[in-house]
Amino acid sequence: MTSSYAHGTCATPLLGETIGENLRRTAARVPDAEALVIRHQEFRATYRELWELTGRAARGLMARGVAAGDRVGIWAPNRAEWVVAQFATARIGAILVNINPAYRAAEVEFALTKSGVSLLLLSHGFRGTDYRRMLTDVRPRCPDLCDSLVLDDDWPALLAAGDGVPEDELAARERGLQFDDPINIQYTSGTTGFPKAATLTHHNILNNGFFVGQRLGLTERDRVCVPVPFYHCFGMVLGTLACATHGACVVVPAEGFHAGATLEAVAAERCTALYGVPTMYIALLEHPRLAELDVTSLRTGIMAGSPCPVATMRQVRERLHMREVTIGYGMTETSPLSTQTEPDDPVEKRVGTVGRVHPHVEVKVIDPDTGRVVPRGVRGELCTRGYGVMRGYWGDPDATRAAIDPAGWMHSGDLAAMDADGYVNIVGRLKDVIIRGGENIAPREIEECLQTHPAVGEAQVVGVPSERYGEEVMAWVRLKVGASATADELAAHCRQGLATFKVPKFWKFVDGFPLTVTGKVQKNLMREAAVAELGLTAAAAVETA
């Protein structure tokens, strides 16, 4: 019986260069191709201009004393300076520390101190939050932070300072860098405790961006609409680096995701590709202006970040004209993608799986209890090995050892199955599996069933405590605008396609779900709310083995 193991063989070699070296090659190959469009800032730059601008910013950081290996934090929504800082820090060997724009004071303090940020680049704020005031509050408790720069005010001065540093000094710094040097710290969005600081190298993220772009067929003729945040792998690797390695243009509609602005950007800029998590695509499909805006220039893109409803994927292919859209799977710790569908995969594989293993990557599905590889078709934990696996969690060797085993496999915590052809299906998180009376229930199976009801816009399923069964199934449902349905109707719909024990006992109709800034549904918060609303505190307090 074939085991659930796959290796991404590929004739194209890995890139053995730094991010700066790669950008130099692209700028030399397609200097006049547009590289970056930030619509809300009215910013445009060709690859020649981007190369020159990143050089000025790199020298400006050197003028402020930033050395190779220093941690430079960036706390800002999507904007031109974010992309320039990404390349500028890479060119001088500084480690860019991504700070989530939605972080509050305690989270910012933790992120700055954990990674030892010495210089923080920040914007005025985002969505009503004043970053400068928050920084004033936390700065006394961040001993390594000795400098800060407000992008809205101080950016021209940084570039001017760079003009005073000889280009030879930057060139000498660049010659001293190696592609295995750590270059980026991204904080994972854990559901409990503080996030962990995944440390990534030039080699990690440059190659992942390159092979993602290759799978999408990107060239200098492509324009990729990127409404996902740069602070996350989706924006800065699948977005910025996938485009830069192939000479394509990054088009940013707004500081944060806005469905109307995204559709307008696609139409006005004639974008050929579009990125998003499922909740973003759902918002685009439901937007009233979709019918009037011309988005027929689209051909491809990526849906990733959380499980992709099959019904949504089919609509994206038809109504957004993205016939070559791909689904990707990965995690911050693997730089990020490990699997991805191909534009020429069979339709049922493109809409119902997360594809096959990426080039130069290995994946396997194991029994989480024994660690043994399971046969094809059997569910287990998905693990990844290869060039994309992070260097480790910054300053946390214990957490690193818990995540990466002695053989170099990164354990995802995701429950998956690999079919006979090597396609992977993600069926949920190991910790999200609902165990009701000894029966294991995958929430996604129920969510997919609910998505086929004509009144359902989106559905999320969680397990809630039960003194009798251990857990019961609860569905949170957002109905489509103007649609109506009752819990009894939806339960009847589920019974047509699911075993009785999988049909939700509890129902909650909502206008939206608690989301992270990247659009991931926070099921831990849904469970907490359900315990309080349903009066299940006693059941939640029952101790188990």
Q: What is the pLDDT of residue 192?
A: 42
365-382 tens-digit pLDDT = 999 989 999 999 999 999
In the three-class reduction of DSSP (H, G, I as helix; E, B as strand; rest coil), residue 368 is classed as coil
Q: According to CATH, what is the number of the domain 433-540? A: 3.30.300.30
Half-sphere exposure of 383 (CA within 13 A, CB side): 24
Q: Would you tell me the crossing angle of helices 443-451 and 310-319 to the nearest 10 degrees? A: 40
Contacts of 172 (CB under 8 A, 6+ apart): none
Contacts of 89 (CB under 8 A, 6+ apart): 58, 61, 66, 72, 95, 96, 183
Per-domain boundaries in the chain:
17-32+43-178, 433-540
What the block records as the tokens of 475 is: 């569905």
For 509-540, b/e burial (b = at least 16 CB within 10 A) is: eeeebbbbbbbbbebeebbebbbeebebeebe
Which residues of 331-441 form beta strands (DSSP E)?
337-340, 356-357, 361-366, 380-386, 392-393, 410-418, 424-429, 434-436, 439-441
Q: Which residues in the chain land under pLDDT 50?
A: 190-192, 543-545
Q: What is the pLDDT of residue 545?
A: 24
The Cβ of residue 377 has, within 10 Å, a number of other Cβ atoms equal to: 14
CB of 96 closer than 8 Å to CB of 240: no
| Predicted TM-score of the model (pTM) | 0.85
CB of 250 closer than 8 Å to CB of 35: yes
Looking at domain 17-32+43-178, its CATH architecture is 3-Layer(aba) Sandwich (3.40)
Beta bridge partners of residue 255, listed in sequence order: none
> How far, in Å, CA of 497 to CA of 451, rounded?
12
- Dihedral angle sign, alpha carbons of residues 251, 211, 385, 202: negative
21-70 tens-digit pLDDT = 999 999 999 999 999 999 999 999 999 999 999 999 999 999 999 999 99
Half-sphere exposure of 472 (CA within 13 A, CB side): 16
DSSP tag of 236: I
Largest interatomic CA distance in the chain: 73
DSSP tag of 389: S
> How far, in Å, CA of 323 to CA of 52, rounded?
36
> How far, in Å, CA of 437 to CA of 439, rounded?
6
Half-sphere exposure of 248 (CA within 13 A, CB side): 31
Contacts of 130 (CB under 8 A, 6+ apart): 124
**Nearest CA among 162, 206, 167, 165 for reference residue 183:** 206
Q: What is the pLDDT of residue 542?
A: 54
Q: What is the pLDDT of residue 334?
A: 98
> How far, in Å, CA of 47 to CA of 53, rounded?
10
> How far, in Å, CA of 320 to CA of 299, rounded?
9
Contacts of 169 (CB under 8 A, 6+ apart): 59, 62
